[in-house]
Structure 1
Amino acid sequence: MDISARMRQILLALLHENGPISVKLLAEQIGVSKRTVQRELEYMERTLKGYEVRFTSKTGVGVWLEGGEEEKKRLLAEISRGDSYDVSNREDRRKRLVLEILKEKGLKKLYYYSSQFGVSEATVSADLESVESWLGQFGLQISRKPGSGIETNGSEEDYRRAIRAFIEENINTNILREAYEEDTSVLDPQDVLIKSGIGQVLNNDVLKRVIRCITDMDHLQVKSMTENSYVGLVIHITIAIDRILKDEMIEPGSGWMEGMDRDEDYRLSEEIAAKLEAEFGIRFPELEVSYICLHIKGAKHERVRWDSREALSIENRELQYLVNEMIDAFDPMQACLLKQDEEFIQGLLAHLQPTLIRIMYGMHIQNPMLGEIRESYPEIYRKCGNVAAVLKKKTQREVPEEETGFLTVHFGAAVFRLEGRKESIRKVHVGVICSSGIGISRLMVSKLEKTYKDRMILTAYGKNDITPYIIGKTDFLISTIPMEPQDIPVVFVNPLLNKGNMEEIREMILRYERMPEKQKEENEFSSKLEEINLVAVQIRTILKNMEFFKVGNDITFEELLIAIGEKMSPYSDRSGQIQEDLMRRERISSQVFAEFGFALLHTRTKGVLRPEFAVCVTKDLGAFHDPYFKGIRTVIIMLVPIDENGQVNNEIMGYISSMLIEEYEFLEVLSRGDKEEIRELLSRYLKEYFNRYLAKV
C-alpha cells in the first residue's frame, strides 16, 4: 500500500474512532494544522481504492470511515505493516523522492512530495536539486513551473532504464526467487516483497504473473541464466508490461531493431511475448519483443551455449582480433604468454559476445563483487581499464565499471595460472565425503569445480570407502559427516558450502599446491592397471544392463518403489531390499528435485550384485500426478552393490549425476522416452568419463 506518512497517521486516527470526529480535533491528534489535514483528505478516495471502506464527511458533524469490521481490520493491518523510515535520514528520503518521480509521470506540486515524506516544501526543493544529477545519467530532467510544481521530462526508454537502475542499486533482487520460487509457507510472498522494497517499485501483481509465465515455459536457455541475468529479464518484462498497461510505450527510434537477426534468441523472445499477451490480454509491440531479445542476447549463462549460430570458433575472426587487441592493451609484456592460454581465450570469447551487446545498447548489469574485486586486485583492475578502453573504441559507448570488474576476473585467473606455472604449483588431490558418495557429495564437487577447477583434483567417496590407498594419494578430505581422525587433514563443512567453508578450503589449497606431490608406491602401476580394467568392466555392465520402463501417471511414490524393485530384480527378497533401501534413503532427504525436473533415486543396496542404471517415465511422457513428485516427468534410478568396488562404482554413478545437472541435453533426451537414444547418450558421457579417468591416472 503506497501512502504518505501523514495519510497513515490520519487513517490510524480514524480507524480508532467509533464515530465522526471534527477535522480540527483530528489535526490536533496528529500534530498538524487543520489546513494540512484538509489537503490530505483530498487524496483519501484514491488511497482507499481496493478496500470496501468509504470516507465520509458531513458539515457540522465531522469525518469518519464506513465499512465492515473485517475490512477495517484488513486496512489497519496493511497500514500497520507498512514500512517506516527516519524523516531526518536525508539519503533515505532522497532515494524515496527518486522512487516517487519514477513511479508516475506528470506534473506534481511540491506539496505532494512534502506530504508524502512529512517534511517542508523547502526541504523537498533542496532534495530535488540533489537527485537531479542521478536522474540526468539516464536523460531525465526536472523542470520547475512556478505556481504549478515540477515535471520530469525524458523518453519512455529513459524512464525504464532509470527504474531498473534504481531497483538494482537499492534493492536485493535475490528476493524475487525467494518470494516466488522457494517454499513460502512461512512467509507470504506479498510480505517478502513489501519488506524488500520491490513491491513499492514494481506492480506486484504483474511481477508475480510474469515470473509464473516464464517459469511455466520451462525453457532451458532461460533456466541457464545466472541469477542477475534472470532477475534483469524479469524486471525488464515487468516494467514493460506495467508501462504498456498505462499506455506508456517506447516510440520507435533509429530503427536498430530492423537489423536484428530473427534467430533462436528472437524466436524465444516472440514465444515469451505470446505467453505474456495471453496472460495479460495485451499486444506486445515488435519493439518490445526486440528489447526482450536484447536482454536474452546480453545475458550471462551458467553454461555457455555452443550452437551453430553462436559457436565462437576459429572462423570468428573479428572477435578474435578484438580479443588479441584487448590482451595487448592489458599487458604487452605478458601478451604472448596469455595468448597461449586456450582456456582463457575461450572463456573471454564466450564472455565477450553478451558484453558487447550490453555495452552497445546501454544495458546495465549488476556486479555484486565489484568493490571486493577492486580492493583485492587493484593492479589487474587498473590494467583492465586499458581493456575497457579498447571496447569503448569498438562500440563508441562508455564501458560501465561493472563490466570492467568482470573482465578483471577473466584476466586475473589467466595471470594467476601464468604465475602458478612459474612457481611450479601443482593441482591438489582432494576427497569429498558424504554417507554414500553419490548424492550430496556430487553437488558439492560441482560447486567446488566451478570455483577451484584449475587448482584441485576432486574425487567423491562414501564414508566407508576411505582406505590406506585412498589416504596415500589424497592431500586432504572435505567431509559433511563426522569421521574418525585420519592421517591427513579433514575439513568439516556444511553441505551447502557456506562462505567460511569455501575460505577454509581455499587456505588448504594454498598450503598444499606448493608442496611436493606424495611419493608413488612401486607397485602402483600394477594396481592402476587392475583399477582401469575394473572401471572399464563396470561401465560396460551399466550400459549393457540399462533399464527403461514406463508407469501410469497416477502411480504413488510407494507404488513406484515397488515397480522399481520388481524391475531391477526378479527375486522377491532382493526386490524388497531395493524398495526398503530406496525408502530409507528418501527419508534422510527427498531425492525429488522439482527445480531440475527429475527425481534421482539412488542407494547402496544388497539387492543388486552389480551397478544398475534405469530410467522411468510415465506412459504419456507427461508429469506424475501424485503431489509428492512435485510435477516432475522423469525418475532416474542408480543402484550400487555393497562390495569392495564401492568407490569405483560411486565415481561412475556420481559422474552421471553431475551430467544430469550440467548437461541440459541429457534431460531433454530422457524426457523423449527413447531407450536406445538414452543408451547412446549415456554411452557418450561414460566414454568422456573414462577418457578423463585415464588422463588422471
Structure 2
Amino acid sequence: MRKRSTEIIQKIIKNNDAPFTVRELAAEYEVSQKTLRKDIQEINQFLHTIPMPPISITEKGELIKDSIFDDAAVERHLYDMDSYIYRFSTEERQIYIMMVLMTSDSYVTMQMFARELNVSRVTIVNDMDMIKEVFKEFDPVLIMDPGKGMFVQCEENSKIEILTKLYQKIAISVENDGYFQRVILKRMGIQYNFSDVFSYAQEYVQAANLIFIEDVFYEIVLYMFVVFNFGRKEGRAAKREIELNEVDHLFLYTGYRMDIFITETMQKNFRQYIKEHGLRSYIKNVDEIELYKVIMKFVQKIGQRIQFQLEEDGKLIDALLMHIRNMKDWGSYEVELPTEYDSFIDYGFLEDLVEENAYILEQFLTYPLSKNMKKSMVIHICVALIRSRRYFRRLSAAIVCPGSMATGKYLEAQLKNYFDFRIVGVLSVNEVYTKLEDLGESIDFVISTVPIEFEKYPVIQVHPFLKMDDMNKIQSMVFQKQKDNPGKSDPQLSILKRMIQDTVEDHELAGLLCKKVEQVTKEYQNQSSSLGKNEIGKLLKLEFIQMEAEEITWQAAIRKAARPLEQDGYIEHRYTEKAIQHVKEYGDYIVVSEGVALAHANKDCGVIKDGLSLLVAKKGIQFTETKGKVYLLFCFASRGEQSYFHLLREIIQIGNQEDLVQQICQLNQKEEIYNRVIGGI
C-alpha cells in the first residue's frame, strides 16, 4: 500500500465527525477523483487481508465504514505492515537510506537496502545518484568500496544538521502516528523519545517566560532530539562559568532532566546551529505580568465595541496567555469558526474586531499573528460570551485515559485551566462503562485520550497534551451544548440589577432597588473578606502610598510612584526607567481599567524583592493613547517566584466599580486611602 493510501485510511480511522468525501480528499491531495477512488480500492485490498469490511462509497461520494469496522484492529495491522505490503515512496526510500548511512559505524551494502526496502538493487543505485546530489550541500564524504559497501565520513556538526533536516522532513512529533515515522524510529533504535525532549524543554520555556515565534521551538527541540540520540558524548563537560543565555540554559536543562551528559562540544555546536540559522532573533523573553496586561488591553478594546466586559473573564485571559506562551500549539491546521451555533453571536463582526485590534498584541510580541491564531482567539471570545450569558448551566464531563491515572489527572489539570467544567471522575478504559453507570448521574460528554464509543454520551478524543485542535473540538461541543440545553444558574449581581430594571416600571424605584442590592452585596463581601487581607492588602504598605495635587506628566508620575520602592530597596532605578520605556514602546497597555494604571517592568531589570506602591493623582494623569485620565497609578515589582494574577485582577476591579476611583481621590489621609482601596475590592 502506498503512502497516500496509508494516510487516507488513517484519516478515516481517526475521523469522528462527518464522513470524508472523495471530492474533498482528492482536493486535499491534489489528485483526480478517479485516482482517489483507486486509492480506496487499494485500501480495500489491504482490509481484505485482515479481514475487515471494505470502505464503501455512497452516491454522494461519502466514504463509509461498516458497522462492525474495528478501528483499533485496522490501526494495529497498519503499524505491523512490512516493506512487502507498504510501498515506500522515492523520497521515503532515500530518507531511509541517508539516515542509516549517517548513523552507521560500519560499511553497509546496496543489497542490504534492497532487501530491507523490498526493491531491486538497480532502484537503490538510482537512489544513490540522487543522494550524492543532496550530500553536496554539506561536507560528508561518501566512500563506496565494491568489496565492502558504502560509508559516510563527516564532521559531527554536519552529521547532526543533516539528520535534523531529515527528521524535519518526516515531521517527527509528539504523537508519531504515521507509519513511516514509526519505521524510522524503530530502525534507528531511538533511545530518547521526542515527546520527552519536548516536555522537558517546554518545562523550561514556561519557567523562563520565553516565547518562540513560528516553528522555532519545534526546530530547536528537534535538534536536541537528534543530538541526544546521535551526538558524540565523549569529552569535557560543558562549562557553567561562561555567560549563558536563555537558549543555552534550555539545552542544559533539557539534557539534565533526561540524564544526558552535555559536553563542551555539544554546547558549542548547539550555539553555532542557533546562530547560523538565525533562531535567536525569533525568541522573545516576556514578563508574564506585562503580557497579561497587553492581553487585557486587547480584550478590553474588543469588549468596548461589543459593550461587554471581557476583561473580567479570567478564564479567557488565562487561555489566551497560555496559547501565546506556547505558540507551537496554534499549529498549521485550518481553524473553522462555527456557522450557526448561537444566534446572539456575530462571528463575522468578532473576526473584524480581532483583526482590527491584533496590532496591540503584535506590537508587544514583535511579530504578526497568523490567520489561525486570530480565528482561535475569536472562538475563545465566543466561549467567554456564552460563559457569561444570563442563564448558564455548568457542564459536566468524565475523563477517560488508557490505564494511567497520572495521565488523566494531568489532562484534568489542563482542562481546568481553560474551561469551567465539573469533572465527575478520571476513569480508565476498562472501568469507564460500569463506573459511569455507578455514578448514577448524567454528564454532558466524555473526554478521552483513546477511541471509545458511547450510545448515551458524545465522546471527544483529545491528545494527552492538549493542542489547539483539541481545544476547538471541546469548544465546539460547548457551543452546541449551551444551545441545546442552556440550563439555569444562580443570578449574579449584574443579572439581578438587570432583572429589577426589566420588571420595575418606576425607573426611580428601580434605581434605588439596584443601589440597595449593590450595597447589601458589598457589605456581605466586606464582612466575608474581613478575616483575611486581599492580594493588594498583602503587598501594599501604608508608607508606599503618595498623593499628587498638581498636574503631572505620565513619565514623572511613574517615577514618583516608583520612588518609595527604590528608596526602600525593592527595585533599582533602572527598573523605573524600563517601565517608562515599555509605555513608549507598547503604548498605554498599563492602563488596566477606567482611571487605573499599573506600571511594571521585567524581573531582570533590577527587581530586588516583591513590592507594590500607589500614587493618587488628584488632577489625573494623561497618557498618550487613552482618552480618559488615570487617577490611581500603582507601581508593581515582582521577582517572578509566584503568580500575581489575582493582584492584577483586584487592581482592575477598582476601576470597574462605579465611583470608587473618585471616592479614593477625594480622601486626604494615607490611612483612609489604604482602607478604601482594600475595602472596595
| Category of TM-score, reference length = shorter chain | 0.3 to 0.5
TM-score, length-scaled by structure 2 = 0.35
TM-score, length-scaled by structure 1 = 0.35
